Amino acid sequence: MISTTPFDLKISPVAPGHSSRLSSSTSTTHRNLHDQHVAAFEGTFAPDARPPFDPVSKPWYRDQDYFWGGWADKSVWKSALVECVGTASMNLLTGQIGATLIGYGTPQIGAYIGLSNVLLLSAFIYATAAPSGGHLNPTITFCTMLSGICPVPRAVLYICAQTLGSAVAGGVLAGIWGKTRSVALHGGGCFFTPSADVTAGQIFLNEIASSFVLLFLAFGLGLDPRQAVLFGPRLGPLLVGVALGLTTFASSGMIPGYTGANMNPGRCLSLNLAGRDFSGQWIWWTGPAIAAMLLAALYNVVPPNHAAPKEKASAQPNLA
């Protein structure tokens, strides 16, 4: 059954005539997951961990608990710690992969980048979806917060943790490579060389456009509750990894001197810290942030339940 409140995104897989049995099963599954300390919020990439549908929930921007509830919740802080460690580990690997591909001098570097991103992101979302929701990217967390599916305390703690983890990964990469090698590798990615063929404005526009496409696919494939009903709850992380692979490959070779869309400011912080070059940081952070605001606006205007029959909305009990 599809919820009729624009900002509650839980959908119970209920067939006509069988609502009681399946709704009970969904609630039981959620209780069992909660007992196992799974991070339960609407913006998780683990569909079975999302809270049950609440037909009388307020819009998120009118809900005081959305802004203030959770700061003292130890489980949210623990989930943020998982985000920190997961982000550091993923960014460490992506830097090493970039350095290895540069070292091999392969002419088909874009294809390898795309394929490695599919496997890398999918694996890390699968590894962290249960304890934290599997965001691992400030862009994802910021967008889910503005979309009303990740409460502000959790989002702020996650973004701080992701930034800290990214800084740690960058420091480790710099230590592994040494100064000379780090500078020669440009940190393994997230850089562009200004020239007659490329300007900062072009890169900025590409970051906004590519980040929006990635968020659109990530929400549609991994966070839209209808997808879990149609295709099962376990395909989401793999499909989100495919989305990242496609978007990174699409722009990896379009302009000489530009590594392609990055869409993850945490990753770029790691690689720029390792490469000792912060000249593009404003692009890597501002571009995805603008894309997140655009996608969140779309998601609030056209939520997953926008096509729910009006008679179902009028059938909801008035508990005011």
CB-based burial, 65-94: b 16+ in 10 Å, e otherwise? ebeeebeeeeebeebbbbbbbbbbbbbbeb
- CA dist., res. 243 & res. 227, Å (int): 15
- Which residues sit opposite 258 in a β-bridge? 192
CA-to-CA dists, residue 216 to 53, 211, 227, angstroms: 23, 8, 14
Q: Is the distance from CB of 33 to CB of 50 less than 8 angstroms?
A: no
Q: At 215, which amino acid appears?
A: L
Query: Which letter, b or e, does each residue of 233-249 get, where b requires 16 or more Cβ atoms within 10 Å of its Cβ?
Result: bebbbbbbbbbbbebbb
* CATH H superfamily, domain 66-301: Glycerol uptake facilitator protein. (1.20.1080.10)
Q: Which of 34-48, 65-79, 92-106, 152-166 has the highest mean pLDDT?
A: 152-166
Domains of the chain, by residue range, sit at 66-301
- The C-alpha atoms of residue 136 and residue 147 are separated, in whole angstroms, by 17
Residues written for the chain: 320
pLDDT at 83: 98
Q: What is the pLDDT of residues 76-134, one digit of tens each?
A: 999 999 999 999 999 999 999 989 888 887 777 878 888 999 999 999 999 999 999 99
Mean pLDDT score of the chain: 83
Q: How far is CA 306 from the centre of its chain?
A: 23
